[in-house]
């Protein structure tokens, strides 16, 4: 196990259970869980496939129990899962927490999903709290446009004093947020990267400034990245080294890892110019070297 930390943002390179054991009980305000779905994805050589559905669910129940122990008494938990597995996690969690919302994250597809059945274009998310009478929900921070009468400037005559419809509202439980595509600036090399917009809504709604946010399956560390942007503290657990390096770069914990410069790879369609420094010039020739990062930006792991 390796731990990297800077400015209240911690990366734990470890198995989920080993990583969770290092965290104090009842110390986390918000946990976002996006585990492997048991559908055969390849995470940089680690196959997302258990020997049976029962074995996978037993594994899920274990990390759920450990996550619940880390939550504060008024903490919030969000859990994602494959559509075929979510009913089991729903039944398990409702015995331990209050499920406030069953969210559908839906998105369009860039290609044909299926030809002989209705293809899946959504992923389910459970929004759960320990105490249904005491939890964080910042409705004013996540308002969206009310695409009904307000846009058309209709009047609500049912009220004692007729007024126009509200122009903003709290989002419902169907979230239309695009998946991360290759040409998007936020794209990282990961098969199941979640979009910044998705985590923004969750973190803004269910945590406050200086709260601690935990992601036990960090992947590209979008949860920690968004937490940092909005003044939260973060802990991310990830076992795969290649994804840990993404987290170190995105959170600016260090600029080098074991002698390797941490920089975002250029995409196939991108050009790029290296910043060069002139070393020597004379006799019609010039010698350059790649410029080093300023001392203030250098940090090695």
Tens digits of per-residue pLDDT, 234-250? 999 999 999 999 999 99
Tell me whether residue 74 is in a domain: yes
pLDDT for 274 beyond 60? no
Q: Tokens 């930390």 identify what position?
A: 5
* Residue of 147 and 125 predicted with greater confidence: 125
**Residue range 16-22: average pLDDT?**
98
Same-domain pairing of 112 and 190: yes
Is 195 in contact with 223 (CB distance < 8 Å)? no
Residue 92 CB partners (closer than 8 Å, separation 6+): 60, 61, 64
Question: Residue 113 has which token pair?
Answer: 């999903």
Same-domain pairing of 40 and 6: yes
Strands 2-6 and 9-13: what pairing? antiparallel
Same-domain pairing of 153 and 116: no
Q: How does pLDDT run across 159-216, given as a tens digit for each residue? A: 888 887 778 899 999 999 999 988 889 999 888 899 999 999 999 999 999 999 999 9
**Residue range 218-232: average pLDDT?**
98
Q: What is the pLDDT of residue 267?
A: 77
Q: What is the pLDDT of residue 300?
A: 76
Alpha-carbon distances of 244 from 3, 179, 297, rounded to whole Å = 10, 22, 19
Tell me whether residue 267 is in a domain: no
Strands 28-33 and 122-129: what pairing? unpaired
pLDDT for 77 beyond 70? yes
pLDDT for 293 beyond 60? no
CA distance linking residue 17 with residue 35, whole number of Å? 13
Tell me whether residue 283 is in a domain: no
Which range has the worst mean pLDDT, 12-21, 103-112, 148-157, 284-293?
284-293
Same-domain pairing of 49 and 166: no
* Residue of 84 and 109 predicted with greater confidence: 84
Residue 117, domain CATH = 3.40.50.150
Which range has the worst mean pLDDT, 44-58, 190-204, 225-239, 279-293?
279-293
- What confidence tier does 151 reach under pLDDT thresholds 50, 70, 90? low
* φ and ψ of 215, to 5 deg: -125, 105
Q: What is the pLDDT of residue 112?
A: 63
Tell me whether residue 85 is in a domain: yes
Question: Residue 218 has which token pair?
Answer: 């960090």
**Strand residues in 131-274 grouped as ranges (E):** 144-145, 155-156, 163-164, 168-169, 174-176, 212-215, 233-238, 256-257, 260-261
Same-domain pairing of 32 and 152: no
pLDDT for 132 beyond 90? yes
Same-domain pairing of 65 and 194: yes
Which range marks the domain in which residue 255 is found?
A: 2-136+173-261
């Amino acid at each position: 196990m390796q731990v990297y930390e800077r400015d209240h943002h911690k990366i734990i390179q470890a198995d989920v259970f080993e990583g969770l054991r290092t965290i104090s009980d009842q110390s986390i305000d918000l946990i976002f869980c996006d585990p492997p779905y048991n559908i055969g994805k390849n995470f940089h050589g680690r196959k997302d496939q258990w020997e049976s559905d029962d074995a996978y669910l037993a594994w899920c129940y274990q990390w759920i129990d450990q996550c619940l122990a880390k939550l504060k008494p008024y903490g919030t938990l969000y859990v994602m899962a494959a559509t075929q597995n979510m009913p089991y996690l729903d039944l398990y969690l409702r015995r331990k927490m209050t499920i406030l919302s069953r969210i559908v994250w839906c998105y369009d597809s860039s290609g044909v999903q299926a030809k002989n059945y209705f293809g899946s274009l959504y992923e389910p998310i459970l929004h759960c709290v320990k105490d249904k009478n005491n939890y964080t929900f910042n409705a004013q921070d996540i308002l969206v446009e009310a695409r009904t009468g307000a846009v058309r400037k209709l009047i609500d005559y049912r009220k004692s004093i007729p007024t126009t419809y509200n122009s903003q509202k709290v989002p419902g439980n169907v979230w239309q947020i695009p998946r991360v595509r290759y040409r998007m600036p936020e794209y990282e090399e990961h098969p199941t990267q979640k979009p910044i917009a998705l985590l923004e809504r969750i973190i803004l709604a269910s945590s406050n400034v200086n709260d601690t946010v935990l992601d036990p399956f960090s992947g590209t560390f979008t949860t920690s990245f968004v937490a940092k942007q909005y003044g939260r503290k973060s802990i991310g657990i990830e076992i795969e080294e290649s994804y840990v390096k993404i987290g170190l770069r995105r959170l600016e914990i260090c600029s080098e890892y074991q002698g390797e410069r941490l920089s975002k790879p250029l995409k196939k369609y991108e050009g790029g110019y290296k910043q060069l420094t002139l070393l020597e010039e004379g006799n019609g020739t010039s010698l350059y070297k790649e410029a080093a990062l300023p001392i203030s930006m250098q940090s090695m792991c």
